[in-house]
Structure 1
Amino acid sequence: MADDLTEQLAALDTCAVSDALDQLGLTGVALGLSCLTGPARAAGRVLTVRLIEAAGAGPSRQHLGTAAVEAAGPGDVIVVDNGGRAGVSGWGGTLALAAVRRGVRAVIVDGACRDVDESRELGLPVFARAAVPLTARGRVAEEDWNVPVRICGVAVTPGDYVIADGSGVVFVPAARAEEVVAAASRIAERERLMADQVRQGVPVSQVMGASYETMLRERS
């Protein structure tokens, strides 16, 4: 079940969270991913899957992703390390259906996925590098799940937080999540006030003056 911090994160957007990471000297933006199932927003705790080339995997005991789906709970986000492979799927329609039945909020794939139309019809946001029809069978296999992975160069650990929307995907280390969410909330509030000023007719050059350029240096 989603915790309070997840709900606070879900009320933000990736841009505010990215700015908060910058302010705190942290990294977490996974460049190159976008939502393939239409406009969507999602936030939750991470449950990971790591894939490798099938030739080096040995006999497969289970299809990739199935263990993570069966372990997932409402509010989780399944994150698949497909090694950035854009020519082979690391996620598909039957997995999407099973994930929705478990209450999974979204799926993030560093690489390609398939059955995008099915995921869209199910209402499951899928963020990935590309969509392809090529099956994973005989091409990639699950090496492990619920283990540390790297997504677009970002180190991600099970239990970390993630937020994804039209601007991209941002991971937040669990150990710093409360601090990041607090900083992002302050940034979002400041930008809301700036937007109010623009609506009131204040020149945008004044609203986005010298203080805007240095606002991420401020911690309060």
Structure 2
Amino acid sequence: MQKYVVGPMPSQISAEVVALLEQAETATIGHWRHWGFVDRGIQGMLKGKRVAGTAVTVQIPSADSTLLHHALGLLRPGDVLVVDRLGDVRHACWGGGVTVAAKAAGAKAGVVDGPCTDLEEVEASDFPLYGRGLAPITTRVYDLGGRMNVPVSIGGVVVMPGDAVLCDDSGVLILPPDEAEEEARAAIARQARGLLVQDRCTKGEKLGDISGATAKVLAGL
């Protein structure tokens, strides 16, 4: 059995689509889409970040981060490194050193289905990192094996190499590349309409009247 599998680097999401995604909120897309959102336990280590990019996937087992270190040398500007921990929630594979290396490569963010560590160093690097909280026990270069640029599971969502990844304070969304632009444009339009509704509310209108909810309640009394 082959210890390591390293697939080809995926085609990257265009800069135009990335720019559109970074204007969209995951929670806006969540108004109509019901798949692609990773488990809400995976949250941003830093607040106030919204980034999008191309998924580069890694699977690493238990206490080993050998392949993760290798993958950092393959990252390109615009990539989001997505790490499947194969169920391990004890060992932090991502800390200060990995953060510095990922940022130096031009990566947009890291998404880990497991804990991270070295929060102060992550904050100092101002690098968007998403994971399942913090842990003090770290991985090591044990050479156990792993897989890169294969389908992985992150927070209950299948992530394919080359998928679009959108991360913000509300969570992480995975989109097939051919659906990313349409979803981003729909979100931007809905956000603009939402601002108009908020303006109407500040001027005295009732949200239930605007949305039609009040009419439905009154009709059902």
TM-score with structure 2 length normalisation? Answer: 0.82
Q: Deviations over 1:130-171 (max 9, x none)?
A: 211111127895511111101111011111111111111111
Partner Cα separation in structure 2 for residue 140 and residue 152 of structure 1: 25
Cross-structure match for 1:18: 30
Relative to its length, the structure with more helix (as a share) is: 1
* Range with bigger deviation, 81-90 or 133-142: 133-142
Partner Cα separation in structure 2 for residue 91 and residue 79 of structure 1: 11
1:4 aligns with 2:16: yes
Cross-structure match for 1:39: 48
Residues 135-214 of structure 1 aligned to structure 2 (within 5 Å): 135-137=138-140, 143-210=146-213
1:67 and 1:140, CA in 2 relative to 1: closer, same or farther beyond 3 A?
closer
Give 3-state SS (helix, strand or coil) of 2:60's partner: strand
1:120 and 1:68, CA in 2 relative to 1: closer, same or farther beyond 3 A?
same
> Which residue identity does 1:29 align to in structure 2?
F
Aligned length: 202
2:83–2:113 CA contact under 8 A, matched in 1: yes
Partner Cα separation in structure 1 for residue 107 and residue 17 of structure 2: 17
Partner Cα separation in structure 1 for residue 47 and residue 181 of structure 2: 29
Cross-structure match for 2:67: 64
**CA positional deviation for 1:84:** 4.1
Higher Rg: 2
Cross-structure match for 1:57: none
Flag as ranges the 4+ runs of structure 1 deviating above 6 A.
none
Partner Cα separation in structure 1 for residue 96 and residue 90 of structure 2: 17
Cross-structure match for 1:130: 133
Q: Deviations over 1:45-68 (max 9, x none)?
A: 1111111235xxxxx8x8231232
2:110–2:130 CA contact under 8 A, matched in 1: yes
Relative to its length, the structure with more strand (as a share) is: 1
2:66–2:141 CA contact under 8 A, matched in 1: no
1:28–1:154 CA contact under 8 A, matched in 2: yes
Partner Cα separation in structure 1 for residue 143 and residue 210 of structure 2: 51
> Which residue identity does 1:155 align to in structure 2?
V
> Which residue identity does 1:196 align to in structure 2?
D
Partner Cα separation in structure 2 for residue 207 and residue 112 of structure 1: 43
Unpaired segments ≥5 residues, structure 2? 1-11, 217-221
Q: Deviations over 1:20-71 (max 9, x none)?
A: 424xxxx1111211112343221111111111235xxxxx8x8231232222
2:60–2:68 CA contact under 8 A, matched in 1: no
Give 3-state SS (helix, strand or coil) of 2:33's partner: helix
**CA positional deviation for 1:103:** 1.3
> Which residue identity does 2:55 align to in structure 1?
V
**CA positional deviation for 1:92:** 2.0
Give 3-state SS (helix, strand or coil) of 2:66's partner: coil
Partner Cα separation in structure 1 for residue 129 and residue 17 of structure 2: 22
Partner Cα separation in structure 1 for residue 127 and residue 98 of structure 2: 11
Partner Cα separation in structure 2 for residue 150 and residue 30 of structure 1: 9
